[in-house]
Amino acid sequence: MSQNTYYITTAIDYVNAAPHLGHAYEKIATDVMARFQKLVGKDVFFLTGTDEHGTKVEKTAANRGVTPQQHTDELVEEFKKAWAYLNLNYDRFIRTTDADHYAVVEQLWRKMAAKGDIEKRAYQGLYCAGCEKFVTERDLNEAGECPNHQRKPEIVQEENYFFKLSKYKAALQAHMQSNPNFVLPEFRSTEVLQMLEDLEDISVSRHKNSVSWGIPVPDDADQVIYVWIDALSNYITGIGYGKDEALFNQFWPADVHMIGKDILRFHAIYWPAMLMSAEIPLPRQIFAHGFININDAKISKSVGNVVSPFTLKERFELPNPDPIRYYLMTVATFGQDGSFTEEDFKLKVNADLANNLGNLLNRTLNMTNKYFEGQVPQSQHAKPGILHADGVTEVHQAYAAFEFQKAADLILQLVDWANKQINDQEPWTLFKEGKLTELADLMYTVLETLRQVAILLSPITPTLSDEMWSQLGYQAKLSDLCPRWDDITHAHIPVGQRINLQGPILPRLDSELAGATKKK
């Protein structure tokens, strides 16, 4: 793997329902990190996709009266539409029904079997169809239900293949101890170490009479490979394992598997053990984020609180997806749970983007038009390219540590600073008093700060950053220029560049300007 590459993955989503804000939260965070890594000069590969096999999908398709393949084909399009709307710039959308994925899963199975790590056993246990896994009594709540799905698991008795997970307990513990950042946030690492204390072998197949929708076990047509072996293998399929070795060697091991906290055991224990068995290097890091709740309640179809990105687009007549991207990345410390409410969404987007940032850009450009005929003025005392260098470094550190909320707060502090310069120095007074040198210094400084803010915010708000860039007078789109992090402090806005005032970059939500319908 090259030092200059960065491979980041999302969990792949079950296709038993359309995507909602919970799905979007993880995908946006991954996109933000991928865009940031491109800013710092990395060659990035961003993988996302869908998990299409297993009991849940089979049952959902049967209830709809369609085949599992028909069902998955339809739902995949829903996910792709949502991710296109949210401006996710992924490199591959992998499906576990892809032909190259079947080949990888079979190859991985054969490697583990050849190592003596897979054997057939008779088994009776509790199976949670929602989790797609066997569970024990200690995994259940006081009512004997799965805490994630609020229903009792079924008793399953069948002959399955087992993976000797317990064989890798010591190796997994040693890896965790020698790589303290293997699982983040830190408190999730503590959880994994506790899980490792009671490690048991796991069933890695189901009889086809129980579930037929999946990849058959090699040389045993009566068995179907366990959905989690199937799903986890997507991370190596997606970059060419067994097919494009140059691509695989370029990007593996993954720098980050971005996942939800509910699937931590599979990624931090099952997946590394499987890779150890197959003698494939382990990923560098697993980041387990929290949930986005709706009004402090977990997103649930049964509760009826599912909110999709398109719900918000229509409800607020959003001109682009950046209000959703910004809000989800700033609603909570990344890694902890966050709670979405429509009122909070509206208030935060209006305060930070429409009022603070939007008003700064709008009034600065208006004054540039009024005082300098719409051109960036020559400055005598401003220091182009080194403004706010310490703050830019802090933003870099925040992005790199998945502290998206902190990064946004630091960037908005630059906006606050620029607004304060205008309020304190009163450019209208400087103009009236004929202090044109001081006025030019001030306006140049604020315009340069806006240029920096456009780049700094671009991982989170790429569309708004493009709009700011255009209004600052640049001809090419910021996103097409592929700027580098050093450009923030080592480049500067050209003197004489003609600005391109086009009005508010984001009308206030629920205002008379907030959408075509309201404008009419």
Is 152 an active-site residue? no
CATH number at residue 60: 3.40.50.620
Residue 15 has φ and ψ, to the nearest 5°, of -105, 50
| One domain, residues 242 and 355 | no
Is 23 an active-site residue? yes
The per-residue pLDDT for range 81-115, each reduced to its tens digit, is 999 999 999 999 999 999 999 999 999 999 999 99
| One domain, residues 285 and 370 | no
Token digits for 127?
A: 């199976």
Cα 426 vs. chain centroid, distance in angstroms? 41
The per-residue pLDDT for range 255-265, each reduced to its tens digit, is 999 999 999 99
Is 422 within a domain?
yes
User: 436-457 vs 389-400: helix axis angle to the nearest 10?
Assistant: 10
| One domain, residues 112 and 188 | yes
Question: 153 falls in which pLDDT band (50, 70, 90)?
Answer: confident
Helix (H) or strand (E) holding 287: strand 286-289
| Annotated catalytic residue within 149, 164, 167, 261 | 149
The per-residue pLDDT for range 486-514, each reduced to its tens digit, is 888 888 999 999 999 999 999 999 854 44
Q: Using alpha carbons, list the distances in angstroms from residue 151 to 39, 127, 265, 299.
A: 46, 11, 20, 16
For the segment 422-450, the average pLDDT, to the nearest whole number, is 96
| Annotated catalytic residue within 131, 267, 396, 492 | 131
How many Å apart are CA 267 and CA 141, to the nearest integer?
23
| Annotated catalytic residue within 111, 152, 207, 298 | 298
| One domain, residues 43 and 144 | yes
Name the residue among 181, 126, 189 with its Cα closest to residue 152: 126
Is 311 within a domain?
no
How many Å apart are CA 126 and CA 159, to the nearest integer?
14
Question: 302 falls in which pLDDT band (50, 70, 90)?
Answer: low
- What's the domain range around 369? 326-333+341-519
Question: 270 falls in which pLDDT band (50, 70, 90)?
Answer: very high
Question: 400 falls in which pLDDT band (50, 70, 90)?
Answer: very high
* pLDDT at residue 425 greater than cutoff 70: yes
Is 15 within a domain?
yes
According to DSSP, the residues that pair with 7 across neighbouring strands are 45
> What's the confidence (pLDDT) of residue 155?
86
Is 131 an active-site residue? yes
Is 88 within a domain?
yes
Instruction: State the DSSP string of 421-469.
Output: HHHHH-HHHHHHTT-HHHHHHHHHHHHHHHHHHHHHHTTT-HHHHHHHH
> What's the confidence (pLDDT) of residue 123?
76
The vertex-229 CA angle with 227 and 152, nearest 5°, equals 40
pTM of the model: 0.92
**Mean confidence (pLDDT) of the chain:** 92
> What's the confidence (pLDDT) of residue 157?
78
Is 320 within a domain?
no
CATH number at residue 366: 1.10.730.10
Best-predicted range by mean pLDDT (191-205, 267-281, 286-300): 267-281
Is 268 within a domain?
yes
| One domain, residues 248 and 348 | no
> What's the confidence (pLDDT) of residue 435?
97
| Annotated catalytic residue within 27, 42, 56, 146 | 146
| One domain, residues 359 and 264 | no
Is 20 an active-site residue? yes
Is 346 within a domain?
yes
Q: Check residues 361 and 153 and name the one with the higher pLDDT.
A: 361
Is 295 within a domain?
no
What is the count of structural domains for the chain? Answer: 2
Helices (H), 283-341: 309-316, 322-330
* pLDDT at residue 305 greater than cutoff 70: yes
388-412: buried (b, 16+ CB within 10 Å) or exposed (e) per residue? Answer: beebbebbbebbeebbbbbbbebbb
Cis peptide before 253 (omega within 30 of 0): yes
Is 298 an active-site residue? yes
For the segment 410-426, the average pLDDT, to the nearest whole number, is 94
| Annotated catalytic residue within 128, 133, 289, 396 | 128
Helix (H) or strand (E) holding 157: strand 154-163
The per-residue pLDDT for range 328-338, each reduced to its tens digit, is 999 999 999 99
Q: Coil, strand, or helix at residue 320?
A: coil
> What's the confidence (pLDDT) of residue 497?
97
| One domain, residues 56 and 193 | yes
Is 492 an active-site residue? no
